[in-house]
Chain A
Amino acid sequence: MTVSIALVICSIVVLVLLIRLARGQYIATRRGENPAGQIRSVDIEAFRNLIDPNEERYLRERLPAAEFRKIQRQRIRTACDYILCAAHNAGVLLSLAEAARHSPDPQVAAAAARLIDNAVRLRLYALQAIPKLYIALWLPVGRRSHVALADRYETMVRHVVLLGLRYPAGTISSAL
């Protein structure tokens, strides 16, 4: 009977979750927020520096082991923050590109489709990269370069600019 009660509680939680989701969807449809205001600043050069294996090697060679580990943890945490910001920005751009995808101009629609594809790939990459980086905080295994993420972010910004040439993307690419 305990399992049955647990299942009943689970189903009530799911029900509440679904209702909240529906309410969120309804509010999101009605509310036209300015996407540029939601963009978080990402310094891509600083991010590249944080994930650069050469930089890591340089620090390891020059710093005492304990200090290197401490600094490296801080670097990884900062890199995670950058990735979270990049993923957040990709989500904002997705909503912008979704609206542009339905444009009657085929070039705008194509540019929006490319931006959507890039933004989705970036979010997927972030989903995989963050747990790996957190593991790398404590274990020296699985450390690998995340240069691809930085490249993808730059490609995404380029797509935003290209989309902005034909669509009212406003100040969004300067915010990125």
Chain B
Amino acid sequence: MSFLSLFIHYVWILNALIEATLLWLVARRRLYQQFPFFVLYLTWVFSKTVVLLAMDFMPSFTGDQYFYAYMIARTGVAALGFGVLYELFTKTLCNYPALRNLGSNLLRLSCVILLLLATALAWLVPAAGTGQRMAELYLLERTVSILQIGLLLFLFVFSRYLGVSWRSRAFGIALGFGILASVTLATTAIRSQVEPVVRSGVSDIIDLINEGALLSCNLIWLGYMLGFKSTPLPPPRLPDDDLGPWNQELRRLL
């Protein structure tokens, strides 16, 4: 095992430990009531890490078995990722009755546009590279990442324009998710084009980037779950009274 490969395994194990801590923390703080999809997502990611790590270390598992396990794991991550996005969307806009209908209509519209864009890209730039099976899987991941980043950006831009306030935990989840999705997009875009049959130095570097992104994302989530509570902002301290406009309003009412 090369030094780089060994280092990737260390980061992988570290990720599993942080994910376990995160799960313990969300269970202790009963966050599954607030963010059920996110907790499901975390559980799935933790199980994926443990299972794939075990399969990687056990020589009795074949490459094919690992591939299918990886495929199932990534499908679950993608599906639950959309669930997390939906949850973020509803949590952010639920306090604004004026936005409920428009928000969900715009979300559907952006979903359709992004799906068309991602499908067109998949059709125009299909998988290449000698490791065709893995390259095709990365192409699918690239399509999912485009959709997820697009939806997340839409949510950020939409809420920023309207001045919608983010609950700090929801913001932390979205931030971590966005970082992970953007790194995944970059790495899958490369891997879908240059994936070799046998692992090379490039594959190791890309794996390290992916694991590093997952590590930073886990640390962001841990930070937001530990430190930041959704406490309301203190009232602004403003001087002077407001008697003039009050009188005006009273005159208008009387």
Taking Cβ atoms with an 8 Å cutoff, the residues of A that contact B are 1, 3-4, 7-8, 10-12, 14-15, 17-18, 21-22, 25, 29, 32-36, 90-91, 94-96, 98-103, 116-117, 119-121, 123-124, 127, 158, 161-162, 164-165, 167-174
Contacts and interface: CB of A to CB of B under 8 A. Distances in A.
Given A120-B98, A120-B99, A170-B238, A7 B189 contact: yes
Contacts of B149: 11, 14
Contacts, number: 142
A100 B235 contact: yes
Contacts of B236: 32-35, 96, 99, 168, 170
B239 interface: yes
Q: How many of chain B's residues touch chain A, expressed as a range?
A: 35 or more
B124 interface: yes
A102 B190 CA distance: 47
Contact of B242 (A1, A32, A102, A173): A173
Contacts of B163: 90-91, 94-95, 119-120, 123
Given A21-B175, A162-B249, 20 more contacts: A3-B121, A7-B186, A8-B185, A10-B185, A14-B182, A25-B166, A94-B163, A94-B164, A95-B163, A98-B232, A100-B235, A103-B235, A117-B98, A119-B163, A124-B99, A161-B248, A168-B237, A170-B238, A173-B245, A174-B244
Contact of B165 (A35, A98, A164): A98
25 contacts: A4-B189, A4-B193, A7-B186, A8-B185, A8-B186, A11-B149, A11-B182, A11-B183, A18-B156, A29-B233, A34-B236, A94-B163, A99-B233, A101-B95, A101-B232, A116-B96, A117-B97, A119-B163, A123-B161, A127-B161, A161-B249, A164-B246, A171-B238, A174-B244, A174-B245
B179 A161 contact: no
Nearest to A165: B246
A162 B234 CA distance: 20
Interface in B160-196: 160-166, 168, 171, 175, 178-179, 182-183, 185-186, 189-190, 192-193
Interface of B: 95-99, 102, 121, 124-125, 142, 145-146, 149, 153, 156, 160-166, 168, 171, 175, 178-179, 182-183, 185-186, 189-190, 192-193, 232-240, 242, 244-246, 248-249
A103 B235 CA distance: 9
A127 to B, nearest CB: 7
**What 7 pairs between A and B have smallest CB-CB spacing?**
A170-B238, A102-B232, A7-B189, A173-B245, A11-B186, A94-B163, A91-B163
B121 A35 contact: no
Given A7-B185, A95-B163, A121-B98, A22 B175 contact: yes
A161 B164 CA distance: 21
Contact of A167 (B186, B232, B235): B235
A174 to B, nearest CB: 5
Given A4-B189, A99-B232, A21 B156 contact: yes
Contacts of B171: 22, 25
Contact of B237 (A18, A32, A164, A165): A32
Contact of A14 (B153, B168, B193): B153
Contacts of A116: 95-96
B98 A124 contact: yes
A32 B234 contact: yes
A4 B192 contact: yes
